[in-house]
Structure 1
């Protein structure tokens, strides 16, 4: 079954998905670019109505691709029992599921990351990373509403983007798995330090909360 016929895609507009996967097909030859998108629109016919779906051009297709990746993550997780896993294990599973999805279009990810980092507005990059990271935390069972909501997402954003960049450079998934372990360990050390320092501040009854700094 072709990916564009898979069940999780039923949540999206069929025309949008058709254009998205035509764009993916053109990317190895003409890049993830406005030129490739124009070729897709010409192939699909009825240019005016399709252009209305993507008023921001290639940026809208990038957003759609990330939304599709997020929906696939939710869909794949139905076959995984996270209840018996630690938070660390849950996050690693989620990161690996994301890489499994990206692996089918590695060249697309290379171009999207390159454009976002070098050419795109920083707000777009932050929003795309933020939406995926927020979903991962929610799927991992995070229910925090205080400042931890933000610190967890900031820390995982660093793990997420560094993992993708490392994965793009290597072919061995064992190396990627080890990299994820190291990055998560680094984050957990930061969390331990935060808790220790916060405990000291509480015991000493300082007048300002440590959370102000994180």
Structure 2
């Protein structure tokens, strides 16, 4: 019986995580994982047509799905919105079973020819967070919210990788400070918009930004080299 591609991907990833700390997200890891999982290399190559980068993205996608499941199961109704954002980022990091897997991924995505994939993965995570928390913006705010959260998320991940404090308390404090910084910027922006002296100067830029719209949602396409949201 032929193994469904999604099941094969999960089995390959389960087998890979024990090799990544030693061999990184590499073709050697894919070969070892395929052997451990009893998956034919032709099937492994169809799962990861670009090799290690697709395996690393599959790992990132798994973390995103775990985060979304936890967001659905946790009661966040008593939290302020900024606290919900912090909780989502915390859930995303807590979905990782071994920091070394992320550290190796950070090294891979730092390579110039994989930087775009890394940036896209982070953007996708932040997009999923905003969607899960009910964001309905369809203008320039759609972009600024995700860009701002991408900066917060990226810096928090780097801090978390080096954090040895109990239960990562230092990381969560760092995350709160970064969100505080963002809130201060938003407050400043509001004051500038309401300033009677500056408002005429912003009329042109505001008119232009008012014509920016969020991208049209496209259906998930499960093709080789593309990660499908499940």
- What interval of TM-score do these two structures reach, taking the shorter chain for normalisation? 0.7 to 0.9
Q: Which has the higher contact order (CA 8 A, sep 6+)?
A: 2
Partner of 1:41: 34
Using the alignment, how far apart are the partners of 2:207 and 2:30 within structure 1?
Answer: 45
Give me the whole-angstrom Cα distance separating, in 2, the residues matched to 1:211 and 1:189: 24
More helix by share: 1
Query: 1:84 is paired with a residue of what secondary structure?
Result: coil
Q: CA deviation at 1:120?
A: 4.3
1:13 partner SS: helix
C-alpha displacement at 1:211, in angstroms?
Answer: 7.9
Superposed, 1:69-108 pairs within 5 Å as 69-102=63-96, 104-108=97-101
Counterpart among 199, 206, 209 of residue 205 in structure 2 = 209
Task: Describe the shift of the 1:120–1:23 C-alpha distance in structure 2 as closer, same or farther (beyond 3 A).
Answer: farther
Name the residue aligned to 2:172.
Answer: 177
Matches within 5 A, 1:187-198: 187-198=182-193
Once the two structures are overlaid, the 10-residue window that deviates more, 124-133 or 58-67, is 58-67
Cα pair distance change 1:52/1:210, threshold 3 Å: same
Q: Structure 1 residue 72: deviation in Å?
A: 0.7
Tell me the alpha carbon deviations over residues 156-191 of structure 1, each in whole angstroms, 9 at most, x when there is no partner.
101001000000001221111110111000011111
User: What is residue 220 of structure 2 aligned with on the other side?
Assistant: none
CA shift in 2, pair 1:66/1:211, >3 Å: farther
TM-score, normalised by the number of residues in structure 1: 0.86
What residue ranges of structure 2 are gaps of 5+ in the alignment? 210-230
